[in-house]
Structures are given as structure tokens and as C-alpha cells.
Amino acid sequence: MKKFFSIALAVSLFGSGVRGQKAPNIIYILADDQGYGDLGVFFQNQRAQSKDRSKPFELSPQIDRMAAEGTMLTHYYVAAPICAPSRASLMLGVSQGHANVRDNEFDKALDDNYTLPGSLRKMGYSTAIVGKWGLEGNDKYDLNGYQWPAHPLKRGFDYFFGYMRHADGHEHYPKEALYRKYWAENGKAVWQNYTNITPKLDKCYTADLWTAAAKKYITDHMRGNEKGKPFFLYLAYETPHAVQELPTQAYPRGGGLHGGMQWLGTPGHMISTASGVPDSYMYPEYAGATYDEDRNGSTPEVAWPETYKRYATANRRIDDAVGDVLQLLKDLKIDSNTVVVYTSDNGPSNESYLPEDKYPPNKPTFFSSFGPFEGIKADTWEGGVRVPAIVRWPGHVAGKKVLATPVIAYDWAPTFIGLGGKPAPERMDGVSVAPMLTGKGVQQEPTIYIEYKGENKTPDYPVFSSSHRGRVRNQTQLLRVGDYVGVRYDIKSASDDFEIYNVVKDPAELNNLAGQDSMKAMQQLFKQRVLELHHNGEGSPRPYDNEPVLPANAGAVLPGVDWAEYRGVFPWIPQVQGLTPEKKGNAKGLDLGGAEVGSASGVQVGRVKVFTGYISVPADGEYTFYLTCDTKAFLRVHDIQVIDADYGYPGGLPREEKIVMKKGLHPFRLSYHRDQDQGEPFLKLDWSGPGMSRRKVGPADLFRDNK
């Protein structure tokens, strides 16, 4: 209730730090399967400083420097513990309770809605993706080529350079495909928009290729006709995931405009490292590295197994790339007007995809890639979902700062949209985290919620506690409330208890508090709250899909609803937290009032009316809501996205959706958006349910807080 209806307490600072200034450029850098513990500044430097020769360590000097110049988020969560759903939630700004790509739905078409790049493009941004996509949909081929329904250019990007398909990212030399016999699905292909340019990419190690292409995009943008427009670049590496291949040579000296990785554009020699021998270069500090394997100082140390030399090299290559890109921003003099975020898509993997007869298997225990946590990729333990995150924006985001406030990946879309000057779409579950980053405004509390159906069992690593080893994953869930995390594995029903951990005091989740009397209320809160954050997803059934949502503890209420009207140039139905209403009041029912829209300086100014209150559910059971209107509308019950009639909604056509509820008062928010004068406004909400035929939601059904 506080999150929904207390606008004064939920101020969201959109446009924070950029009022009266040009909207900032945004670069979002995403590593693939890089753990919290893989970076020096987050964990590896501690291993190095311990002087314990039994603990090998990795180096990340460039990312460490980025952290010194920016802010570290040490309680940052991904939206899902595996690639495709994690990236889908990032692009959509919604949790896995509402995303259309869930579980292991690789290559499924991303929802056609207000995507992060699409929303920014509506606001005047140029948008580009370089690297791995994997959300394209089926790849049927006809005379016009591949017909991917969710090609990046169909989901809000102006430019695409990279791997389209998920499995292509398992190989890091697209033309040579050195490990073709292991990953030969449909060949490998790098696309530039709709053109396959793989035949030109001799000896191109993808981490180098994506870096060179990203630098070219930034440079061309700043020197081209659109240099006056801000840009959004999604730089999505697919390393250190999958086959642990090596670069061709050392990273080029220098960095930025005239050094580092460069795009040459010559077929057969497209980038500056497209020479030498593929899969050959290892960083010297790793090539000869040894460690105390048997923890006995009197015996000789042994060499690192080659699998881990390769893994450390892959991470170090990304580190060099980050430093290269940051130097480019300085050289182009756009450093202070460019927000750069660095993070990963999920926790560390135990995959290597190297020939098993030649290389030892990859285990994230070698470097403790999961950091101070337990769990790996596919786990909803902290090690699988808490990953490194750094934000750098000189002059706006403080340097050498550590933030321990929980943040989740689907908060980035509202944050970036807000920094561009607009409130995020109501469709999005995330909130802007600009206030905590810039120190300006009041921060709305993010909601940390994850659901995932995992395969196999958790790994049987001796360094993990016995309670975390060999566990059946199946249906899993995570919800964080304050310092406490509730986790469920192998969920059979909504009544299953959560394990409860204080992850501030107990980051490895060794002490399950669920059995304590003091946790009974918290247990009930977890069970109730997760039902308020989830809507059934096609192709991803959950054992709690049809569990009735419990009513709110409403306290004293009065008949009717509260309403507030907002005016502005809104490209979508906006999140109104933080906006100042032009009018507000209460009414008996869902009355739109007048139809005026208005204009300012020749720009049509839209009108948003938001109704909040409770709907009185007369009996336990399944209810169907039916919504029709002349323009756009959006209905939430609790935090559940029940009806989205915003994006692409033609108006007039009915939308309907089902939800199972217990008898009692359930909070709702119904938003209506109108940006043109086209006759009398029209909004109708009907419902039907147990023993109740379809009828209008009327005054007898509606209640509001007795304030």
C-alpha cells in the first residue's frame, strides 16, 4: 500500500542531475556469467592481500579504476539466475513475475512493448546494441532472409552489430568456429543490422570485435549528423561464458580514440587484433601462475590448470576493453555527460565447453567466483543472483563510494528513462535509482523479486554448506525485504515455507532463521507478497499460478475511490510516483470527468487520471476483468499487472484477464491516458466471478482509505 499510494513518500527523481542540461549518453556494459567474486575491487583483491598461496586470484585494474571513479553497488541483483530471462527483464523493465521470457526460454521473441531502447528512442535517443542478443524469436528463412520477429531493430534499437542467436555466443571466433564440433547449431553468424558479415571476420575474437565495433559506433555518432542527440549503447559481451578461447595477441597499447582496440574495416583484417594465431594469447601473469594446491608450504607449488588460465584471461580481456572505452569518452570530451554501468547477467558458471579429454572441467571454486556467497548460475542463492555493478558518471555520481541499498536489474530501465527526462512507463516494475546514485531526491524502495525453474541439482562443492549442496532446483523463488531474503527451492505449492536469511549479517546464507518464532510474521509476509508480484506466464507454469491472492489489511475505509490528475507530454501511461498532480480528490466510482487536454507552446499536453483504492471481492475464486476505453489504460491489482492496454492499444477493443483472489479488499490502481481531444473520454471496467455474471465495477465495489 505504501509503495502504491503514498506519493509523498515515494518520490522518484526522474531527470535527476540533468535538469536544465542535455540528457546524458548511456553505456550499459554487460558481461556473461561473471561472478561477484571475479573482480578485484569486489573480492579478488582480498584474496591477493591475504597472501594465502592456496587461493589463486584474478586482476581487474581497469574496472577497479572505474570503481574508484564511480559508485559500487554491493547489493545488486540480476532479475533471473540465467541468461535469457535475465536479459529480457533488463530490456523490459519488469520482473520475472511479468516478463514474457522466463526460465530457459532461449531465443524466444522479446515482448513487443515499451522496451528500454524503444522508450529511449521515443525520447530522442539514438540506440545501439553491440554483442549478444538471444531474444529474437524463431529464425524462419525465406527469400528475403531470416525473419526474426524480435530482431533488435524491431525492439527499439537503431543499430545492431553482434550475435543474434543465443547458442552463437558459445563460440568466440565466429568465422573459424574453433570448437565447431561442440557447438555447430546452424553455424555461427555475426550480423550488422540485417547483413551477415561473418565471412569478413577472420581471426576476430569476439570480446575484441565487440569493443572495436562499440568504439566505432560512439566515435561515428559523435562525429556524425546525430551528434546532437544523446545515445544509448548496450555493449553485451558473451564472455567469460562458454568455450574458454583465448585472444590472438596482447591487447593493443594505449586506448581511446587513437589507441587500444580499433576498427579497421578491411575484410580479413576488420579489427586491430585480427592477426596472429587464434586461441593463443594468455596474459603473462596467468601463463606462468602457480599456487599451493595441497596447502603445504614445504611442497612445490603447481601450475594453474589451463582452464582457469583461460577463464582469467577472458575476464582480463573485458577489463582492458572497459578501460579502452572509458578512455574514448575522455578523448571525445563526453566523459562528464555519459553514464556508464558495468555489471553481469548472472552468477558464475561451471561450464567451459572445452574438450574434456584435454582440459579439466571449470569450477567457480578455483577463484571463488561467487565471492562471499554460496551458489552459482541457475541458483537463487546469493552467489547465483548477486553480481558486481558499478556506475560511473563524473560530476554526478560520487567516486570511491559504496552503496549497500538493494537494487535489481529491472530498475535500470526506469532509471535511464528518468535521466533522459521522462517518468518511466507504468508497465515497468522497476523504479529509478537515480536518487541514491546522485544524492538528489528521495529514493523509492526497489522491489527485489526473482522466480526461476532450474534444471539439475545444485553443485556438490565441499566449500559450500551441506544445506546448499545437491539440492533439487526445479521451481525456485527469491524475495528480499529489508535485510532479509526468503528463498524457496523445489516449490511444490504456495504453502511451502521459505528459508529466511539475514544476508547483511549472513551473506553466505548459512543460518536459516525460518524456524524462529520471531520469523513467523516474516514467513507469512513472504508467502503473501510473492503472490502479489506474479502473473501467469505462457510456457512457464508455476505451482502457485492459481493460488488466490490474499486481501490487504486495509484498516478503516470509506466508500469510493481516490483520484489524481496529471498533465504533461507523456509518450506512455507514466509511473506517477514523484509527479505533482494538477488535481486530486475522491469520487463514488470511476468517473473520468471532463475531456479537455490542452496545449503548451504548440505541444499537445496529455492528461493522465489515476484511480486508487480497494475493490471488494465478494467470495473466494477466479475473477475476470474486462477493460475498454477510447485511448489507453492500465490496471494493477496489488502489484500484479492485470491488464495492459497501453502499448499499441487501438482503443475501444476490450481486454480481459483473470486473477484468483480471496474474499476481502484488494488494492488496485487504474490509470487512464489521453493525449488528444477526440470527443468524450471513455473508460469502462467490468468484472465477473463466482456466482456473478459480467457487470460494471460500480460504487458498491469500491473503497478508499479513511485518511
Same domain, 101 and 63: yes
- 676 residue type, one letter: Q
Set of cell numbers at residue 246: 583465448
Domain-embedded: residue 546 = no
645: helix, strand or coil: strand
pLDDT digits (tens, 9 = 90+) for 265-308: 999 999 999 999 999 999 999 999 999 999 999 999 999 999 99
> Do the strands 583-587 and 561-568 form a parallel or antiparallel pair, or are they unpaired?
antiparallel
Q: Are residues 83 and 189 in the same domain?
A: yes
Kind and range of the H or E element at 121?
Answer: helix 116-122
Same domain, 173 and 259: yes
| Domain count for the chain | 3
Task: Answer whether residue 179 shows pLDDT above 90.
Answer: no
CATH of the domain at 483: 3.30.1120
Mean pLDDT of 459-477: 97
- Quick check: 458 pLDDT over 60? yes
Spatial neighbors of 31 by CB under 8 A, at least 6 apart, are 237, 239, 240, 315, 318, 342, 343, 344, 345
Among the listed residues 439, 413, 408, the one whose alpha carbon sits nearest the alpha carbon of residue 427? 413
DSSP H helices in 17-59 = 45-49
The residue among 531, 565, 594 that closes a domain is 531
Domain end, chosen from 478, 513, 531, is at 531
CATH number of the domain where residue 669 is located: 2.60.120.1560
**Residue 105 has which C-alpha cell?**
526460454
Which is more confident, 143 or 667? 667
One domain for residues 614 and 691: yes
Where residue 653 falls among pLDDT bands split at 50, 70, 90?
Answer: confident
β-pair partners for 30 = 236, 343
CA torsion, ordered 584, 590, 596, 599, to nearest 10 deg: 60
Cα dist. 319→38, 173, 234, 630 in Å? 11, 19, 17, 52
Do residues 464 and 379 make contact, with C-beta atoms less than 8 angstroms apart? no
Q: Does 67 share its domain with 101?
A: yes
63-83 pLDDT, tens per residue?
999 999 999 999 999 999 999
pLDDT exceeds 50 at position 706: yes
Among the listed residues 86, 89, 98, 92, the one whose alpha carbon sits nearest the alpha carbon of residue 112: 92
| Structure confidence by residue, pLDDT tens digits, 296-309 | 999 999 999 999 99
pLDDT of residue 180: 58
Q: Which of 495, 491, 463, 462 is nearest to 477 (CA)?
A: 491
Mean pLDDT of 367-376: 98
Whose cell is 490502481? That residue is 669
* DSSP states along 295-347: S-TTS--EEPPHHHHHHHHHHHHHHHHHHHHHHHHHHTT-GGGEEEEEEESSS
pTM for the predicted model, two decimal places: 0.95
Per-residue pLDDT averaged across 90-115, rounded?
Answer: 97
Say whether pLDDT at 427 is over 90: yes
Confidence of residue 677 (pLDDT cuts 50, 70, 90): low
Among candidate residues 506, 505, 502, 504, the one with its CA nearest the CA of residue 514: 502
Single residue among 446, 481, 514 that ends a domain in this structure: 446
Average pLDDT, the chain: 93
pLDDT of res. 604: 61
3-state SS, 611-627, equals EEEEEEECCCEEEEEEE
Cβ-proximal residues to 81 (8 Å cutoff; 6+ apart), any chain: 346, 347, 377, 378, 379, 380, 384, 385, 450, 452, 454
Q: Are residues 187 and 63 in the same domain?
A: yes
Q: What share of the chain is helix, strand, coil (3-state, %, to 5)?
A: 20, 25, 50
19 within a domain of the structure (yes/no): no
Instruction: Please check whether residues 169 and 297 belong to one and the same domain.
Output: yes
For residue 10, pLDDT beyond 50? no
For residue 252, the tally of other CB atoms under 10 A from its CB is 17
Do 197 and 282 lie in a common domain? yes
Task: Quote the CA–CA distance of 27 and 185 in Å, as a whole number.
Answer: 31
DSSP code string of 530-573: HHTT----TT---TTTTPPBPPP---SEEESEEEEEEEE--SSP
Residue 548 lies in a domain: no
In this prediction, what percent of the chain has a pLDDT beyond 70? 93
Cross-strand partners of 418: none
Q: Decide if 376 is inside a domain.
A: yes
* Residue 48, helix vs strand vs coil: helix
Mean pLDDT for the stretch of residues 393-412: 98
Residue 369 Cα distances to 43, 309, 350, 385, angstroms:
8, 14, 10, 12
Assigned C-alpha cell, 477: 523463488
Is the pLDDT at 532 greater than 80, yes or no?
yes
From the centroid of its chain, how far is CA 439?
23
Return d(Cα 56, Cα 376) in angstroms, integer.
19
pLDDT tens by residue, 207-235: 999 999 999 999 999 999 888 999 999 99
Cα–Cα–Cα angle for 385, 378, 496, nearest 5°?
Answer: 85
Which tens digits make up the pLDDT trace of 343-361? 999 999 998 888 888 999 9
298 within some domain: yes
Confidence of residue 178 (pLDDT cuts 50, 70, 90): confident
pLDDT for residue 645: 96
pLDDT, tens only, 537-585? 888 999 999 999 999 998 999 999 999 999 999 999 999 988 999 999 9
- In this structure, are 260 and 183 located in the same domain? yes
Segment 632-645 mean pLDDT: 97
Query: 166 and 207: one domain?
Result: yes
Cα 99 to the chain's mean position, in Å?
A: 11
- Segment 368-397 shows an average pLDDT of 98
Q: Is residue 520 part of a domain?
A: yes
CATH of the domain at 183: 3.40.720.10
- Amino acid, single-letter form, for residue 171: E
Q: Are strands 640-645 and 683-689 parallel, antiparallel or unpaired?
A: unpaired
| DSSP notation for 649-667 | --SSS-EEEEEEE-SEEEE
Residue range(s) defining the domain that contains residue 57: 24-446
Q: Residue 3 pLDDT more than 60?
A: no
Cβ neighbours, 10 Å, residue 348:
30
Residues 119 and 242 in one domain: yes
Backbone φ and ψ for 484, nearest 5 degrees, come out as: -105, 140
The conformation of residue 42, written as its DSSP 8-state character, comes to: I
User: Residue 141 is which amino acid?
Assistant: Y
Does the residue 100 lie in any domain? Answer: yes
Query: Does residue 421 fall inside a structural domain?
Result: yes
Residue type, position 400, single letter: K
CA distance 557 to 540: 38
Confidence of residue 518 (pLDDT cuts 50, 70, 90): very high
Residue 12 binned pLDDT confidence (cut-offs 50, 70, 90): very low
Q: Which residue has the cell 532479475?
A: 79
Angle at 388 between CA 235 and CA 523, to 5 degrees: 125
Position 328 pLDDT exceeds 90: yes
Same domain, 196 and 254: yes
